[in-house]
Amino acid sequence: MRSWRFLLSRRWLLFGAVVVLLCYGAWWLGQWQFHRLDERKASNAVVRANEDRAPSPVGEVLAPGRGVAEDDEWRQVIATGTYDADNTVIVRYRTRDGQSGIDVVVPLRTSDGSTLLVDRGWMASDNEGAGPDDVPAAPTGEVTVEGWVRADATGDSTAVNGHSTRAISSAQIGPAIGTEVYGGFVVLESEDGEPAAGLEPVELPELNNGPHFFYGLQWWFFGVFAVFGFGYLAWDERRGHRTQPADGEAAADEPDPTEGERKRKRAAKSAQKQKVKAAYQRAYAAERAAREARRDAQQATTPAAPSAGDRPGSHAADQGTSTATGSSSSDTP
């Protein structure tokens, strides 16, 4: 078996560093989700405790220019006064069950002269269309409101433009309407014992733990999976499927499958070359034999040239010579 020295190579060291970073990130994200779970549980505990408390006068819980304490979130309060309908503020982009809509915030001038922002409820509407004149009118005259305390929103979405905003903040709405208001605002439960006419009540928070616990487990599982994957790949590498023996080390009892595969490929390539060479040689020999056969056939069909004794003129001359010789012989005594 091969040693673990390959883990000291640059490739494996970088791989290990990446796995460490992934594990740290997964651990941190898991911790963040569990921290959010603790915050959710603490918030739910405050809401449950405040639900069981009797409503308190708004002046005992809120004050102008002061933020809402964490323990007072969703606490029930009572206030008596008259609505300032002329300074109604529309809170846009309040989607509910896939339906776009708005919240209607109306200042309530209390009997002691201070002003309380009251979110009277939600209505379906185009986010850009409805204005203060398009919403159900607030009751006239003195009215007693009861509702839940909420903390101000923060960020750029709290900016007020033309009695319109995207999130409720007393620090922004007060200067926009030119009135000092209580810190935070109140989500309306009832007006003189009745819910707001023409508006749907604001949704109360769900008192469950949410998905944070399972999200945290998922992040930690990703970290454990990264460690397991690194260990498996290292073990597989050690078996010799991906690298050759280090420093020329030969596995005496286990042939290297990579080297054997290369040898088989070289042998197959050499055999193929031999086959091609033999085929060329056979084709050349066949073509050469065909050329020789054609040459022999041409020579066999061509007539031979006559010899000097066989020429016609020579035969006649020979006959004339014979005649002349015969005549001379007969004339001799």
What integer best gives the mean pLDDT of the chain? 83
Q: Is the pLDDT of residue 190 over 70?
A: yes
Measured at the CA of 33, the angle between CA 29 and CA 34, to 5 degrees, comes to 115
Specify whether the CB–CB gap between 149 and 51 falls below 8 A.
no
Q: Is the pLDDT of residue 204 over 80?
A: no
Phi-psi region of 69 (alpha: psi -120 to 50; beta: other; left: phi over 0): beta
Residue 328: pLDDT band (50, 70, 90) is very low
Minimum mean pLDDT range among 13-27, 151-165, 212-226, 275-289: 275-289
Q: Is the pLDDT of residue 331 over 50?
A: no
CA proximity to 133, closest of 92, 198, 85: 85
CA proximity to 122, closest of 201, 38, 214: 201
Tell me the mean pLDDT in the region 310-321: 48
Give the CA count within 13 Å in the CB-facing half-sphere of 195: 7
Residue 36: pLDDT band (50, 70, 90) is very high
Residue 333: pLDDT band (50, 70, 90) is very low
Query: DSSP character for 199?
Result: S
Among 6-10, 25-29, 231-235, which range has the highest average pLDDT? 25-29
Q: Tokens at residue 55, please?
A: 């409503």
Minimum mean pLDDT range among 123-127, 128-132, 184-188, 307-311: 307-311
At residue 302, the pLDDT reads 66
- Cα Rg, the chain, nearest whole Å: 54
Q: Is the pLDDT of residue 78 over 90?
A: yes
Tell me the mean pLDDT in the region 113-127: 89
**pTM of the entire structure?**
0.59
Minimum mean pLDDT range among 11-25, 204-218, 255-269: 255-269
Residue 249: pLDDT band (50, 70, 90) is very low
Residue 126: pLDDT band (50, 70, 90) is confident
Specify whether the CB–CB gap between 115 and 84 falls below 8 A.
yes
Alpha helices in 147-187 (DSSP H): 170-177
